[in-house]
Amino acid sequence: MNILVSACLLGQPVRYDGADNATKLAHHHSTLDQWRRKGWLIPVCPEMAGGLPTPRPAAEIVGGDGAQVLAGQRRVLTYSGDDVTESFLAGARHTLAYAQAHNVQAALLASRSPSCGTDSTYDGSFSKQLTPYSGITAALLQQHGIVCFPPERFEQLLEWVQQQQCLGSKECD
């Protein structure tokens, strides 16, 4: 079983500010180590895959969600107004291709990111206001049948993994 994981959640310093998000999964370290040893974890940073540097200016989807960006209806802008939509789209497409090449079935993605946010993203006003929308990469993965989880729902990911392992197994009945 392969699980795509935002590289920042695995301790890689690829966030927009050059930091990582490893502390968000610190209490799940033993499970992640077990999955790493099994070869299940497929790390990726969609924004870097789209050609953006680290560090980079913060960016937000303006007035909509990742699916609307994919449909060409919304844009991703930095605080200074630079349009980085094409880099975000390229990163989402690269991430989908990478996930498909590795037969990924689920993804554990960083929260609130315009790329990876699964349950929420910032609203584009750069005022830390959240929307209940998915980011671009999360939306694209979900459109292609890949189940996405934020770190805050790690327990649900664990349950999902257990269900997948039980499919067809008499041990779980």
* C-beta of residue 40 within 8 angstroms of C-beta of residue 1: yes
What mean pLDDT do residues 3-18 have? 98
Domain ranges in the chain?
2-172
- Is the pLDDT score of 173 beyond 60? no
Q: What's the chain's Rg over C-alpha atoms?
A: 16
| Size (the chain), residues | 173
Alpha carbon separation from 71 to 3, 57, 65, 136, 156 (Å, rounded): 26, 24, 10, 10, 29
pLDDT band at residue 172 using 50, 70 and 90 as cut-offs: low
Q: Are strands 121-122 and 104-108 parallel, antiparallel or unpaired?
A: unpaired
- pLDDT at res. 167: 81
pLDDT digits (tens, 9 = 90+) for 42-77: 999 999 999 999 999 999 999 999 999 999 999 999
Q: Is the pLDDT of residue 157 over 90?
A: yes
Inter-residue contact 117 to 134 (CB < 8 Å): yes
Average pLDDT over residues 118-124: 95
- Mean pLDDT for 123-135 is 96
Distance CA 151, CA 91 (A): 21
